[in-house]
Amino acid sequence: MEQFHIWFSQVHGSGLAEPNAMILSTVEPSGAPRGRTVLMKGYDSSGLRFFTNYRSRKGRALDVEPRVSVVFPWHQMARQVMIMGGVERLDDEENDRYFRSRPRGSQIGAWVSEQQSSPVRGRAELDERYERLSRAWPEDVEVPRPAYWGGYRVHPVEMEFWRGSPDRMHDRFRYVLVGGEPADGTWEVERLSP
Ligand SMILES: Cc1cc2nc3c(=O)[nH]c(=O)nc-3n(C[C@H](O)[C@H](O)[C@H](O)COP(=O)(O)O)c2cc1C
Ligand SMILES: Cc1ncc(COP(=O)(O)O)c(C=O)c1O
């Protein structure tokens, strides 16, 4: 994660829009892959965090197969980072802390989208729910975190750092965890052919 920190700091400092947007791929119970964008909400030596609805399609997929692939597509910087690893749910304390930091509208949105990824009759149904819930929690009352809403920590076991070069002569470095935990384990580094 030290190398990730160096790159993320550079990308973050470059003014690139949504540098923390990452494509998160999960494995469906059928075995099919499925990707979507989520926002990384912090990282440390043990991995990175993102938040979602545990009942969503990805949440249900992770209940069955708690492994993911993550891609940071930093095109404007001619860089890409891929991270593969297992996930675990964050604890209530970490979930509450993050949920409290969100804008009130997004907190209410999490209640509106209780059934994230399920079909709805129309936009009106969602807007009505939003209005009703906004009235239910007056401004001075804290919106509670729904039990089904929280985060995951991705524990990398493999990471690849890709840097684009002319003539498709790109630099690729693969880090593989060969023993121990991501934070203090041993990582083997190899250069890959572009
Ligand atoms: C830039 C961007 C950031 C997003 N961030 C999140 C996020 O952090 N958490 C989340 O649940 N959905 C996020 N979404 C929506 C997801 O891409 C996706 O539509 C949603 O999580 C449902 O996915 P699922 O049906 O595969 O579970 C984001 C979408 C975009 C385009
Ligand atoms: C449905 C949903 N949940 C969660 C997030 C995470 O970001 P935030 O906590 O900043 O809303 C996003 C970001 O786009 C989102 O679309």
68 occurs within a structural domain: yes
Structural domain including 49 reads 2-102+147-192
Question: For residue 142, what pLDDT band results from cuts at 50, 70 and 90?
Answer: very high
Question: What local confidence, expressed as pLDDT, does residue 184 receive?
Answer: 87
107 occurs within a structural domain: no
> What angle do helix axes 104-112 and 123-136 make, rounded to 10 degrees?
120
pLDDT tens, residue by residue, 89-130:
999 999 999 999 999 999 999 999 999 999 999 999 999 999
Beta-carbon count within 10 A of 146 CB: 17
Residue 37 beta carbon below 6 angstroms from any ligand 1 atom: yes
How high is the ipTM of this complex?
A: 0.99
Question: What local confidence, expressed as pLDDT, does residue 149 receive?
Answer: 98
Tell me what the pLDDT averaged over the chain comes to: 97
Question: What local confidence, expressed as pLDDT, does residue 138 receive?
Answer: 86
The more confident residue out of 180 and 30 is 30
Half-sphere exposure of 131 (CA within 13 A, CB side): 6
126 occurs within a structural domain: no
Tell me how far the alpha carbon of residue 53 lies from the centroid of ligand 2, in angstroms: 10
Residue 102 beta carbon below 6 angstroms from any ligand 2 atom: yes
164 occurs within a structural domain: yes
For residue 76, what are its two tokens?
Answer: 């404007």
The residues annotated as belonging to the active site are: 168
Nearest to 152 by CA among 84, 56, 51, 64: 51
Residue 60 beta carbon below 6 angstroms from any ligand 2 atom: no
Question: What local confidence, expressed as pLDDT, does residue 58 receive?
Answer: 98
174 occurs within a structural domain: yes
Question: What local confidence, expressed as pLDDT, does residue 158 receive?
Answer: 98
135 occurs within a structural domain: no
Locus of tokens 């209005």: 131
